[in-house]
Amino acid sequence: MKSMTVAIAAFALSAGAALADPVTGTWKTQPGDDGNYAHVEISTCGSQICGTLGKGFDSAGKTIDSPNIGKKMIWNMNVDGGGAYSGGKIWAPDRDKTYNSKMSLNGNSLEVSGCVLGFCRSQTWTRVK
């Protein structure tokens, strides 16, 4: 019985690693309207991708305190394959707007774009880790 439990636990751990998506990790945003930028922690949320605001920085690169740290920034992003993601939402703290979003992964660059009421914007994020 004990060996069966160990085998099941090992399988569950290896399955979780196999399901990791290449976009998961920490990403540095481009500066927003206010000159600040952030690190966003992207992970899998079930079969979708989500992201949380990790750290905030001012234009000089100094860490800033913000009530937005820990807030969900990306949610309901579908994995389309081939580095493409769509159907999700992204929240932009500099404008306090939520956009219908898509993302495109190319190595250590992540093109993030979104639109709300016909107004669109995009950024290229770089992988931190």
Q: What is the pLDDT of residue 19?
A: 55
Output the pTM of the full model. 0.81
Q: What class has domain 21-127?
A: mainly beta
Strand runs (DSSP E) across 12-118, as ranges?
25-28, 37-45, 48-57, 63-64, 72-81, 84-92, 97-106, 109-116
Q: For 21-78, what is each residue's pLDDT tens digit?
A: 999 999 999 999 889 999 999 999 999 999 999 999 999 999 999 899 999 999 999 9
Note the pLDDT of residue 6.
Answer: 36
Amino acid 11: pLDDT: 38
Q: Are 90 and 98 in contact (CB under 8 A)?
A: yes
Each domain of the chain, given as residue ranges in start order, spans 21-127
What confidence tens digit (pLDDT) does each residue in 9-24 have? 333 333 343 357 999 9
Going by pLDDT thresholds of 50, 70 and 90, the confidence category of residue 2 is very low
